[in-house]
Amino acid sequence: MNSAVCPQSPVFCQNTMNYYSLNKKAPNTTFEDAVVRGLAPDKGLYFPESITPLDASFFETIEDKSNSEIAFEAIKQFILPEIPEDVLKTIVEETLNFDFPVVEINENISTLELFHGPTMAFKDVGARFMARCLGYFNKTNTKDVTVLVATSGDTGGAVANGFLGVKGVNVVILYPSGKVSDIQEKQLTTLGQNITALEVDGVFDDCQNMVKQAFMDTELTSKMQLTSANSINIARWLPQLFYFMFTYKQLKSKNKDLVFSVPSGNFGNICAGMVAQKLGLPIKHFIAANNANATVVNYMISQTYNPKPSVQTISNAMDVGNPSNFIRIQELHNNDFDTLKANLSSYSYTDDETKAALLELYNDFNYVADPHGAVGYLGAKDYLKENEAHVVFLETAHPTKFLDVVEDVIRENIDLPPQIEAVMHKEKVAIAINSYDALKAFLLR
Ligand SMILES: *Cc1c(COP(=O)(O)O)cnc(C)c1O
User: Is the pLDDT at 230 greater than 50, yes or no?
Assistant: yes
Q: How confident is the model at residue 215 (pLDDT cuts 50, 70, 90)?
A: confident
For 56, phi then psi, to 5°, come to -55, -35
Q: Cβ–Cβ contacts within 10 Å for residue 358, how many?
A: 27
**Please, are residues 16 and 81 in contact by the beta-carbon 8 Å criterion?**
yes
Question: Please, what are the domains in the chain?
Answer: 98-121+236-417 (3.40.50.1100)
Whether 123 is a known active-site residue: answer yes
For all residues of the chain together, what is the average pLDDT?
Answer: 93
- What is the per-residue pLDDT for 5? 43
Ligand 1 pocket, mutate which of 113, 266, 322 (most atoms under 8 A from CB): 266
Q: How far is the CA of 125 from the centre of ligand 1 (A)?
A: 12
> Of ligand 1's atoms, which has the minimum distance to the CA of residue 272?
7
- What is the per-residue pLDDT for 2? 39
**Please, are residues 114 and 99 in contact by the beta-carbon 8 Å criterion?**
no
For 78, phi then psi, to 5°, come to -85, -10
User: How far apart are alpha carbons 270 and 332 in whole angstroms?
Assistant: 12
The mean pLDDT of 233-260, rounded to a whole number, is 97
pLDDT digit string, tens, across residues 73-129: 999 999 999 999 999 999 999 999 999 999 999 999 999 999 999 999 899 999 999
Q: How far is the CA of 265 from the centre of ligand 1 (A)?
A: 5
Q: Cβ–Cβ contacts within 10 Å for residue 280, how many?
A: 16
User: Is the pLDDT at 268 greater than 50, yes or no?
Assistant: yes
pLDDT digit string, tens, across residues 14-71: 578 999 999 999 999 999 999 988 889 898 999 999 999 999 999 999 999 999 999 9
User: Is the pLDDT at 210 greater than 80, yes or no?
Assistant: yes
Using a 6 Å cutoff on CB, does residue 269 contact ligand 1?
Answer: yes
Helix (H) or strand (E) holding 46: strand 46-48
Helix (H) or strand (E) holding 337: helix 337-343
Residue of 293, 127, 271, 122 lying closest to 205 (CA atoms): 293
- What is the per-residue pLDDT for 144? 87
For 28, residues 6+ apart whose C-beta sits below 8 A from its C-beta are 2, 5, 6, 13, 18, 19, 20, 21, 49
User: How far apart are alpha carbons 243 and 27 in whole angstroms?
Assistant: 31
- What is the per-residue pLDDT for 4? 37
Strand order in the sheet with 431-433: 225-228, 145-150, 169-176, 195-200, 431-433
The mean pLDDT of 249-255, rounded to a whole number, is 97
Burial class (CB in 10 A: 0-12, 13-18, 19+), 153: buried
Q: What is the DSSP letter of 84?
A: -
- What is the per-residue pLDDT for 14? 56
The mean pLDDT of 422-443, rounded to a whole number, is 95
Using a 6 Å cutoff on CB, does residue 266 contact ligand 1?
Answer: yes
User: Is the pLDDT at 8 greater than 60, yes or no?
Assistant: no
Residue of 79, 4, 378, 394 lying closest to 234 (CA atoms): 79
Using a 6 Å cutoff on CB, does residue 162 contact ligand 1?
Answer: no
Using a 6 Å cutoff on CB, does residue 228 contact ligand 1?
Answer: no
- What is the per-residue pLDDT for 100? 98
